[in-house]
Amino acid sequence: MKTIEHHLWHPVADAHALTDQPLSVHLLEQPLVLWRDGQGQAQGLHDQCPHRGAQLSLGRVCQGQLQCPYHGWIFNGQGACTHVPAMPDFQPGQAQQARPLSVREAYGLLWVCLSSDGHDLPPFNAEAQSGLRKLNAGPYMVNTSAPRIVENFLDMAHFSFVHEGWLGDAQHTQIPDYQVQATAHGFKLVNAQAWQPQSSALSSGGAMVAYTYEVAHPYAAVLTKVPGADSGVKPGYEESIALFIQPISANQSRVWFRMAIADFEVAPEKVLDFQNTIFLQDKPVLESQRPQLLPLQAGAESFVAVDKGSAAYRRLLQQLGITFGVC
Ligand code: FES
Ligand SMILES: [Fe+2]
């Protein structure tokens, strides 16, 4: 049965990880195979041969097409079988067709949609701004559902505890009120503020930082952060970070951050080290949460006023009819 999740685009690999060798990935509990054809275009199929069910990703790429490891049938990126080696004169047809996938490359990642009528990619407006430098952090494997990870990304009240000394401080635990605004495809949290001892890789001191969070895809979110004037960060420095998640299974996810930063000088390792540190602080707490699937029914978990961003996210998942990663 196809659900909304099958009409969405999901990241499955770093773009640079895909070569002319078959790459096995998993999405929504389905095994898939990707490769680059002779033109360098990413191609993908469901990872099961229509002949005897062998895993196509164990095969090889032959002149831009994928050859099954078992009897050597060859498939193009549309799934059409182009050659049956045991019967070289046979013209393969519909019955020999493998199941094709829609594949796109964007934000330094490869994206897959399991349906031919996919929605749009999750938006990341900073991508188009040439004055911002783009970097990817991750992927991070996390043993929990994608919605638990999105909800954590939207949550500022954990900064003083999980990220003490980094994104939050034990002496500044209060989160001022913020606004939830509906958008065309989801919602925004506006003027979400927290006191941060080191708000980014570049900052030298503590400051109140204002964030905007935007959710326009059930397994993605974007934060834009503007440091205060007293933060010690040079004027104009503003960063936008997108969270993109590959839902591998209902309780297993792979996470990327697409960062757009104004500073072209700072060493990429410094930016990535910071992002790794922050996310590796989140990971054990995320993996400890039970249930691993995000509970959507009212009263399943306790909510206080500061959690209204989480409440908005859960409402969006319900409105969209999301079934994968929730309970
Ligand atoms: S199982 Fe793939 S060619 Fe036979
Ligand atoms: Fe966190």
Give per-residue pLDDT as tens, 234-246. Answer: 565 568 999 999 9
**Residue 21: both structure tokens together:** 């060798």
Q: Which residues line ligand 1 (CB under 6 A)?
A: 49, 51-52, 54, 68, 70-71, 73
pLDDT at residue 255, rounded to an integer: 98
| CA angle (62, 44, 126) in 5-degree steps | 125
Cα(34) to centroid(ligand 1), Å = 17
pLDDT at residue 200, rounded to an integer: 59
Cα(297) to centroid(ligand 2), Å = 24
Question: For the chain, what is the largest distance between any 2 Cα atoms, rounded to a whole number of angstroms?
Answer: 77
- Of all ligands present, the nearest one to the C-alpha of 73 is 1
Peptide linkage before 291 cis (omega within 30 of 0): yes
- Condensed to tens digits (0 to 9), the pLDDT of residues 261-300 reads 988 898 999 999 999 999 999 999 999 999 999 999 989 9
Alpha-carbon 2 to chain mean position: 21
Share of the chain above pLDDT 70, in %: 94
- Residue 167 DSSP SS3: coil
Domains of the chain: 4-113 (2.102.10.10), 125-320 (3.90.380.10)
Of 93-102, 190-199, 268-277, 304-313, least confident by mean pLDDT is 190-199
Place of tokens 């990642």: 109
Give nearest CA residue, ligand 1 atom 4.
71
- Condensed to tens digits (0 to 9), the pLDDT of residues 99-136 reads 999 999 999 999 999 998 778 899 999 999 888 999 99
Give the whole-angstrom CA distance, residue 45 versus residue 31: 9
- Of all ligands present, the nearest one to the C-alpha of 162 is 2
Stated pTM of the model: 0.95
